A and B are shown apart, each in its own frame.
Chain A
């Protein structure tokens, strides 16, 4: 069952609804948000996921990171 999340990509002008899978990694989640915002924000390789004000290990899955429906996550450069 996909988990709806509020994704905010640094450089973008709007938050987007991202449907995440429990088993996907945070790195994949970041790429998904980047792809969704590509019209407005140029894609960069070096990004990190921030959740509850903490930079997360990108290899963690969405479930392992504890992200739940309608949570906010941020994808920041560098």
Chain B
């Protein structure tokens, strides 16, 4: 009988020469990706952590049992009710954004499982697809039952099926990253950039935030998901190494493009969670500190490892660490009814902390929060006044990332208008325009929300936009978590009544 070391290579490497069909017909470039190379260039593809199906199933079973045990112990509604209000809303963000995004990862991995260029790669991608099924099911299992606690948790299932502006942006990202992507670009963009660069470390950071917030269920969930990611993220590394060997310019482009695209989404999901939706006394670090310690250093090491250069926009990205997610949060607060979770205004203590952590631009942000606070003082707290402290003009969105035109600083927004093919586009930033111009055929026909409104596809009036197009209701649309009733505002609800 063969031992593991003898039979595993036989099971992993099952490539053969085709006799009645050409290799480029079995692995067409359009779906396997470029550069198209004969299998002889891929035959040494090697994953660093090897596993058999039996080992995989045994490990996953153990991990699922551990999640179930924590769920049984601390995952009940009464446990969730004890969480701090801002953190509960961070959970709603992740409950919506995570599960079906992970499901698109199933599709991407299955494409790798069929069109990856070496059998060992295809075997690992099959495990990757099973991982992503698990990452879809666990958050749905944990979050959707919380619907009994709060109807906003309905968005765990609903989010990606709506035309909510953030869902449009997230779909635009994941459709390109995973659903409609060829195997090579998928594995570089997802495994190397998204997972190695961002989520693998993000989940470590989120687990730590959850622990500080006494949310042991979420902590266990992201830790369990992270262990899968650490394994399947390795698929992309030998793919990138081969592309780097044959077409280094293209490899650099893919890394530059996807680091920027990931940064945009990541800075919102994680930036808001750390700096605004975690109670002040439970924040272990600022988002910028987290990025510098966990993401930036690690990414630079990965670039070095492959002989890649820093992206051309590196200094711009470092500058955005100080401001972008703050611009987004203030904008989103003032359009909170367009989202499915609730917000809090940073009070004097939070603003003091933010000033200390973000001295470069905080004066300008502080002025915005002072103005919003003043509106609450004027109209008085209470749910009836929610929409009196809310934006009314149509917000605007980037034609690449589909996120609000909130880049730059309050003094100088970096949005850029471009005429291309007789049509006018607007981008939040130079890198978003640069990505568009590299692949205009991929992006040019996508309509952002403003153009949908102007063409009559989406309603122009905000109430109709919320209910008819974003699928929100007065119960589920975002509000101030305290309805403006903050002691520090000096106008409490009882005295205002």
User: Provided the pairs A6-B396, A39-B334, A72-B415 are in contact, do residues A17 and B450 lie with their beta carbons within 8 angstroms?
Assistant: yes
In the complex, whether B413 has a CB less than 8 A from a CB of chain A is yes
The smallest C-beta distance from A30 to any residue of chain B, in angstroms, reads: 14
The interface bits of chain B over 381-413 (1 if a CB of A lies within 8 angstroms of the residue's CB, else 0) are 000000001111111100000001110001111
The smallest C-beta distance from B385 to any residue of chain A, in angstroms, reads: 13
> B230-252: which have CB < 8 Å to A?
none
Q: Given the complex, which residues of B lie within 8 Å of A36, measured CB to CB?
A: 391-393
In the complex, whether B318 has a CB less than 8 A from a CB of chain A is no
> B322-359: which have CB < 8 Å to A?
326-328, 330-331, 334
Contact check, A14 vs B331: say whether CB atoms are below 8 A apart: yes
In the complex, whether B372 has a CB less than 8 A from a CB of chain A is yes
In the complex, whether A56 has a CB less than 8 A from a CB of chain B is no
CA distance A64 to B412 in the complex (A): 26
Contact check, A8 vs B391: say whether CB atoms are below 8 A apart: no
The smallest C-beta distance from A13 to any residue of chain B, in angstroms, reads: 4
Query: Most B CB atoms within 10 A — which of A8, A38, A39, A70?
Result: A39
User: Provided the pairs A8-B415, A10-B410 are in contact, do residues A16 and B394 lie with their beta carbons within 8 angstroms?
Assistant: yes
Contact check, B367 vs A16: say whether CB atoms are below 8 A apart: no
> How many chain A residues touch B (Cβ–Cβ < 8 Å)?
24
Contact check, A17 vs B327: say whether CB atoms are below 8 A apart: no
> A21-56: which have CB < 8 Å to B?
36-42
User: Provided the pairs A4-B454, A36-B392 are in contact, do residues A13 and B415 lie with their beta carbons within 8 angstroms?
Assistant: no
Contact check, B411 vs A13: say whether CB atoms are below 8 A apart: no
Q: Given the complex, which residues of A lie within 8 Å of B410, measured CB to CB?
A: 10-13
Contact check, B372 vs A40: say whether CB atoms are below 8 A apart: yes
Q: Given the complex, which residues of A lie within 8 Å of B413, measured CB to CB?
A: 8, 12, 15, 74
Which residue in A10, A15, A17, A18 is a CB contact (below 8 Å) of B415?
A15
In the complex, whether B417 has a CB less than 8 A from a CB of chain A is yes
Contact check, A6 vs B334: say whether CB atoms are below 8 A apart: no
Name the residue on B nearest A74 (C-beta). Answer: B413
Q: Given the complex, which residues of A lie within 8 Å of B394, measured CB to CB?
A: 16-17
The smallest C-beta distance from B168 to any residue of chain A, in angstroms, reads: 16
Contact check, A40 vs B371: say whether CB atoms are below 8 A apart: yes
Q: Given the complex, which residues of B lie within 8 Å of A4, measured CB to CB?
A: 450, 454
Name the residue on A nearest B394 (C-beta). Answer: A17
In the complex, whether A60 has a CB less than 8 A from a CB of chain B is no
Contact check, A39 vs B375: say whether CB atoms are below 8 A apart: yes
Contact check, A13 vs B396: say whether CB atoms are below 8 A apart: no
Contact check, A39 vs B390: say whether CB atoms are below 8 A apart: yes
> B419-434: which have CB < 8 Å to A?
424, 426
CA distance A11 to B369 in the complex (A): 11
Contact check, A70 vs B424: say whether CB atoms are below 8 A apart: yes
Name the residue on A nearest B388 (C-beta). Answer: A39
Contact check, A14 vs B426: say whether CB atoms are below 8 A apart: no
Which residue in B330, B404, B412, B453 is a CB contact (below 8 Å) of A40?
B330
In the complex, whether A57 has a CB less than 8 A from a CB of chain B is no
Contact check, A15 vs B396: say whether CB atoms are below 8 A apart: yes
In the complex, whether B292 has a CB less than 8 A from a CB of chain A is no
> B78-107: which have CB < 8 Å to A?
none
Contact check, A41 vs B371: say whether CB atoms are below 8 A apart: yes
The interface bits of chain B over 271-307 (1 if a CB of A lies within 8 angstroms of the residue's CB, else 0) are 0000000000000000000000000000000000000
Contact check, B371 vs A42: say whether CB atoms are below 8 A apart: yes
CA distance A17 to B449 in the complex (A): 11
In the complex, whether B368 has a CB less than 8 A from a CB of chain A is yes
The smallest C-beta distance from A78 to any residue of chain B, in angstroms, reads: 12
Contact check, B424 vs A14: say whether CB atoms are below 8 A apart: no
Q: Given the complex, which residues of B lie within 8 Å of A16, measured CB to CB?
A: 391, 393-396
Contact check, A13 vs B331: say whether CB atoms are below 8 A apart: yes
CA distance A11 to B413 in the complex (A): 9
Contact check, A13 vs B395: say whether CB atoms are below 8 A apart: no
Contact check, A14 vs B406: say whether CB atoms are below 8 A apart: yes
CA distance A70 to B364 in the complex (A): 27
The smallest C-beta distance from A77 to any residue of chain B, in angstroms, reads: 9
Which residue in A13, A69, A74 is a CB contact (below 8 Å) of B424?
A69
Contact check, B405 vs A11: say whether CB atoms are below 8 A apart: no
Contact check, A14 vs B396: say whether CB atoms are below 8 A apart: yes
What are 24 A-B contacts defined by CB distance under 8 Å?
Answer: A4-B454, A6-B415, A6-B417, A8-B413, A11-B364, A13-B331, A13-B410, A14-B331, A14-B334, A14-B404, A14-B405, A14-B406, A15-B405, A15-B415, A16-B393, A16-B395, A17-B396, A18-B393, A36-B391, A39-B391, A40-B334, A41-B368, A41-B371, A42-B367
3 nearest A-B residue pairs (beta carbon): A36-B393, A15-B405, A17-B394
Instruction: Give the B-binding residues of A (Cβ under 8 A).
Output: 4, 6, 8, 10-18, 36-42, 69-72, 74
Known pairs A6-B426, A42-B367; list 8 more (Cβ under 8 Å). Answer: A4-B450, A8-B405, A13-B365, A13-B406, A17-B393, A69-B424, A70-B426, A71-B424
